[in-house]
Structure 1
């Protein structure tokens, strides 16, 4: 059991922290904050901030709810034209599948950590469990620092490779005039990666420092 704790927990912790950070960003609050950030680009095709703040949370709602793609497909601009084209709708469906799968993994990993923690408590192995959590925190910090370096050096490459990993072909590429790009420009995604890194870094540091062996213990 000790060996299982020492190996499995440090692997699960970075996954739990990263997915927790992801869930925190999948909220209308983050979208609202992002749109009010200094220097956030205006829509060059004329969509107002109020319109963006109306439509963007709906796209987020779709990722989190149980509705089918008609939830987005039925949305229109004020003149009645569809908000999204077929290519955008297809991509949003793919994103929803990925998001829902990630959230299931998140819940599963958290439950696994709780179960291991309870078992460690029952077996008198809490010290080993705490140490493994701390190692997982340190591992998370290392991974996130590497990620932030990549963001700083070549965000475009990182963004492209992320999409190549999770989506087929060029289904994620759009025109600047497409609604998804107008709602979520590249600046938005840069800040998403930075936000993920920042939140995960804080979580990793908290575990790393908080789970250090206490003097006299």
Structure 2
């Protein structure tokens, strides 16, 4: 028993597995049924090869086949032949839509786009081009407004700053100690003038009431300023503080305009300051000419603008006249005009519209290009 089982196992022929047995498969190529209709892969390969044996169930291309097959029959022996026969027998689905197949052709109407090819009149074309060019070249209004605002505020701010520089103890000291300044014929020394004059100048820029000057007493015990002088200094203080307040507001507007133009308009700050410096020069030269031709008339008309008649005239022995004689006001006017004129000239030179500042090429390069 032990020796028969191995011998039997050796003599037995191995049986193939059912799923792997390929003996019953045909010679049809794999996936040939997926070929397009009219292209017989297996049959054409068999016909092109000389001496090749055709499958027993296949038919020839010209209709000659086996005895059991009817002439003209398109029944194919392989799957590819059957698919080709079915495709040839089935009529096309769009046979009625194609010209040349026995049916009337169908024409598609073109889209109504003929209006796109019509050129408008020349006047309309020119008008549209002009509007397009104007829209492209138009500049925004806000930068222009800011430039005008900067040009108008600039001379006023310069005048206010010059007035503030003159109404200071430093200018008093320069005036009282400069050679040629007239002395006081009623007994005030330079030190007295500097002390009492500093009180008057400080009163113009502080927030004290009239008592700041009204309670001042001379060394002899008399009041230093009379009631009329104190009242006039109160009026001057109102004008000075209003001027300083307006100057501060205009300076703030100038700063806003400068910041806006720096961000929104290239060269806008330069153009605004250039125009403002020209306006300043015109104003200063005009006022200087009037003052030079008639200082007394100019001084009188200036006081009539801001003060009531009779409230600003005093006798020669009053404290205000002894501290601030006529020569003091002439020097103050010259100092204000000089400061404003110098600042305007420097600004004019720094903002002069040269070719480089305007972003243009040098003149030689422009001539070469021309």
- The TM-score with structure 2 as length reference comes to 0.57
Comparing both structures, which one devotes a greater share of its residues to helix?
Answer: 1
Uncovered stretches (5+) of structure 1, i.e. residues with no partner: none
Inter-partner Cα distance in structure 2 for 1:7 and 1:163: 30
Deviation at 1:214, TM superposition (A): 4.3
Instruction: Determine the structure 2 residue equivalent to 1:209.
Output: 349
**What are the within-5 Å matches in structure 2 for residues 157-176 of structure 1?**
157-176=297-316
- Which residue of 128, 145, 155 corresponds with 2:268? 128
- Which residue of 190, 193, 210 corresponds with 1:52? 193
> Which of 178-187 and 203-212 deviates more?
203-212
- Which residue of 172, 196, 204 corresponds with 1:63? 204
Note if 1:40 corresponds to 2:176.
Answer: no
Q: Could you list the per-position Cα deviations for residues 16-64 of structure 1 after superposition, in whole angstroms to 9, with x for gaps in the alignment?
A: 1111111111210101001122221111111111100110011000011
Instruction: Determine the structure 2 residue equivalent to 1:88.
Output: 229
Instruction: Determine the structure 1 residue equivalent to 2:145.
Output: 4
The two structures, once aligned, show a CA RMSD in angstroms of 1.1
Tell which has more relative contact order, 1 or 2 (C-alpha 8 A, sep 6+). Answer: 1
Instruction: Determine the structure 1 residue equivalent to 2:56.
Output: none
- Which residue of 127, 141, 151 corresponds with 2:281? 141
Inter-partner Cα distance in structure 1 for 2:164 and 2:203: 14
**What are the within-5 Å matches in structure 2 for residues 93-104 of structure 1?**
93-104=234-245
Structure showing greater Rg: 2
Instruction: Determine the structure 2 residue equivalent to 1:109.
Output: 250
- The TM-score with structure 1 as length reference comes to 0.96
> Which of 141-150 and 185-194 deviates more?
141-150
Deviation at 1:208, TM superposition (A): 1.2
- Which residue of 179, 186, 189 corresponds with 2:329? 189
